Amino acid sequence: MSVSLSGDAARLLEYLAEVQGITQNEALRKAIATEAYIRQEMEQGAKVLLQKSNKDIREVVFR
Q: Is 19 left (phi over 0), alpha (psi -120 to 50) or beta?
A: alpha
Stronger pLDDT, 1 or 40, i.e. the higher one:
40
Above 90 in pLDDT, residue 63?
Answer: no
pTM > 0.75: yes or no: yes
Q: What is the pLDDT of residue 9?
A: 98
Nearest C-alpha neighbor of 15 from the set 34, 31, 35, 1 = 31
Tens digit of pLDDT for each residue in 3-59?
A: 999 999 999 999 999 999 999 999 999 999 999 999 999 999 999 999 999 999 999
> Hey, where are the domains in the chain?
7-60
Structural contact between residues 38 and 61, judged by C-beta atoms closer than 8 angstroms:
no
